[in-house]
Each structure stands twice: as structure tokens, then as C-alpha cells.
């Protein structure tokens, strides 16, 4: 954090010394501007139309005030006119990590209409530097400068407050890695596909009707290769469980409760417990299914304590 007094020392200092426009106000530049902006007001290019409004002739669009004193591409890339004040301020901000910049707003006030032949200059001073602010882009300081435009006689024709945010880019949260993928094969792909559809299925032997899990190609009772599935109710009890603390895998929240769930149909499967603290889990605790949609490509069954049914 930069001390307030350090930034306050820059307030009031000249950021850009008086710089004269390279050319006086002229019709070709006005024409380029109004064509680019799609501004069809006739007082900018038609002398007669301007005189009909009580003016002495055409005027420059007030909003192009800054264009008359802009340095141009070659002068900008050369960087030769950067002031010591600007260099020092940017150095102080950069040393504190405020290395990024974005313009936030510009306020212009016009006092005199400019006519062709008038040559203006601009002086820019630092008007204010805000305390450290927290923004959506990151923590930073708003730097407001005041540009004062004057004509050949030294009269103020316009002012412009230009505000930028010098900020420290907020660290983007590291994306959470996906859960480890199951090893899919022709014997278990159907089970994971059913899970994506929020269906908890149990493989059943078509010959002796024995239920089995984990899935497999052959019945362990009658050795039949024929099988189908039934939909499980999603209710069961905790047969056993462990609470994992280490090693931590970023895809999971810890402490991680891994339980062996005995379904009311009689088969068992391994699943995470959700919605319950580790010290609240007990053996034989009634549980019910709650789907864990880990990501668009993976859905797994989880279990939470059953809610007692009302009589």
C-alpha cells in the first residue's frame, strides 16, 4: 500500500507542460471529424447556416477539442515529451504493483466556440489521486487530471477532467480440476450412462435374477452371460465409511467422507456422503440418494442422511 502523503505530493503538479496545437482550427479537420462521427449539424461546414444562427461563420464541434492538441502517432511512439512528473508517478504506482491502466471517464466543459484560424494550447495538471480502492478489475487508485485549453489570447476555452484507474490486476481464481475419470469399458459404460440420466441401476442376471455390483460380464452364481438391469430405489444404509484428509486432491472438498452403502435391494457400492459432517455419520445410518453432477460429462451417486418420513 502506498502512503497517502506520497501520492498527495503529486496533486497540483503539472503532468503535461503547455503544448500548442500543431495546426490552427481548420475546415479539413472539421470535415474529417463530422464525417467520422456522422454529425450532420450544418453549422460545422456551412457558413450560411452558421450565420443564420447568429454566429460569424462555421465553428468546430466542441467535442473535438482534444483532437486539436493531440500529438499524432509519430510523436506518441517516440515518447519524447513524457514529463518527469508522469515518470515519477507511474514509477511509484508500478513499484506498488499498480501496473495496469484503464480509462474510466472524461468530463468536458466548453466556454467558447472555436472558429477556423484559432490556435489553442493545453496544460494538464494532476487534480486528485484517490485512496486505494477495491474494484472489479483489482485494487487501485483513480488518478484524475485536469486539462485546460486556452486560445491565442490566453482565454480558457474548455476544460477536461480525465480519469484513469491504475490497478493491480486481481488474481483470477484457479479453475478447479475435474474429478478423476472412471475407467470405462464395455462392462460398466451402461452404469455411468444411466447415472448421467439420474438413474441408479443394478445389474441383474437374466437367468437366476441375482443382483450384482460392481458390474461384470458373468453372473457369479450361475455363470450366465445374459443380464439386464433394475432401477434402485436410492435408499440404503451406511455399511462402512472412512474420512479422508490426505492426500488432498483439488477436485474434492475435505474432509471427504467415502462410504460403502448397502442398498435396500441388497447390493453395495462405494460413494461419497454429502450434507453431513464426519462426526455425524454412523454405521447403519439410513441414507438416500443425491446425485452429484460433477461436470457435464460425469454424474455420480452420493448419499445423504434420510429425512424421517412423517406418519
- Distances in whole angstroms, Cα of residue 302 to Cα of each of 195, 198, 275: 11, 11, 10
225 alpha carbon, distance to own chain's centre: 53
Q: Is 122 helix (H, G, I), strand (E, B) or coil?
A: strand
pLDDT digits (tens, 9 = 90+) for 24-75: 999 999 999 999 999 999 999 999 999 999 999 999 999 999 999 997 777 6
pLDDT digits (tens, 9 = 90+) for 90-104: 999 999 999 999 999
Would you state the cell numbers that stand for residue 190, as one nine-digit string? 451402461
- Distances in whole angstroms, Cα of residue 266 to Cα of each of 204, 227, 251, 301: 12, 17, 31, 17
- 279 CB contacts (<8 Å, ≥6 apart)? none
- Name residue, grid cell 456551412: 46
Round the average pLDDT of the chain to a whole number and report it: 93
Could you tell me what percent of the chain has a pLDDT over 90? 85
Q: What is the DSSP string of 206-220?
A: TTT--EESS--SS-T
Running DSSP on this structure, what letter comes out for residue 63? G
pLDDT digits (tens, 9 = 90+) for 232-271: 999 999 999 999 998 889 899 899 999 999 999 999 999 9
Amino acid at each position: 500500500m502506498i502512503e497517502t502523503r506520497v501520492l498527495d505530493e503529486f496533486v497540483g503538479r503539472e503532468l503535461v507542460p503547455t503544448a500548442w496545437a500543431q495546426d490552427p482550427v481548420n475546415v479539413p479537420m472539421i470535415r474529417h471529424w463530422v464525417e467520422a462521427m456522422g454529425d450532420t449539424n450544418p453549422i460545422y461546414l456551412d457558413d450560411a447556416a452558421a450565420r443564420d444562427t447568429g454566429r460569424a461563420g462555421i465553428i468546430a464541434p466542441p467535442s473535438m477539442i482534444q483532437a486539436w492538441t493531440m500529438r499524432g502517432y509519430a510523436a506518441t511512439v517516440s515518447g519524447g515529451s513524457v514529463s518527469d512528473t508522469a515518470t515519477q508517478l507511474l514509477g511509484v504506482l508500478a513499484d506498488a504493483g499498480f501496473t495496469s491502466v484503464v480509462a474510466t471517464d472524461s468530463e468536458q466543459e466548453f466556454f467558447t466556440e472555436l472558429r477556423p484560424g484559432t490556435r489553442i494550447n493545453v496544460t494538464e495538471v494532476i487534480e486528485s489521486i484517490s485512496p486505494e480502492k477495491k474494484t472489479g478489475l483489482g485494487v487501485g487508485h483513480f488518478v484524475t487530471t485536469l486539462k485546460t485549453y486556452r486560445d491565442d489570447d490566453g482565454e480558457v476555452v474548455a476544460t477536461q477532467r480525465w480519469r484513469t484507474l491504475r490497478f493491480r490486476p486481481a488474481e483470477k481464481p484457479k479453475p478447479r480440476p475435474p474429478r478423476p475419470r472412471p475407467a470405462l469399458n464395455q462392462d460398466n459404460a451402461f452404469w455411468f450412462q444411466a447415472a448421467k440420466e439420474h438413474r441408479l441401476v443394478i445389474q441383474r442376471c437374466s437367468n437366476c435374477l441375482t443382483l450384482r455390483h460392481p458390474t461384470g460380464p458373468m453372473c457369479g452364481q450361475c455363470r450366465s452371460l445374459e443380464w439386464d438391469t433394475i432401477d434402485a430405489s436410492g435408499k440404503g444404509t451406511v455399511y462402512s465409511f472412512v474420512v479422508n484428509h490426505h492426500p488432498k486432491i483439488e477436485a474434492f472438498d475435505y474432509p471427504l467422507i467415502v462410504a460403502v452403502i448397502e442398498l435396500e435391494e441388497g447390493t453395495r457400492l462405494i460413494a461419497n456422503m454429502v450434507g453431513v459432517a464426519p462426526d455425524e455419520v454412523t454405521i447403519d445410518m439410513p441414507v438416500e440418494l443425491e446425485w452429484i453432477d460433477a461436470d457435464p460429462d460425469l454424474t455420480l451417486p452420493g448419499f445423504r442422511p434420510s429425512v424421517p418420513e412423517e406418519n
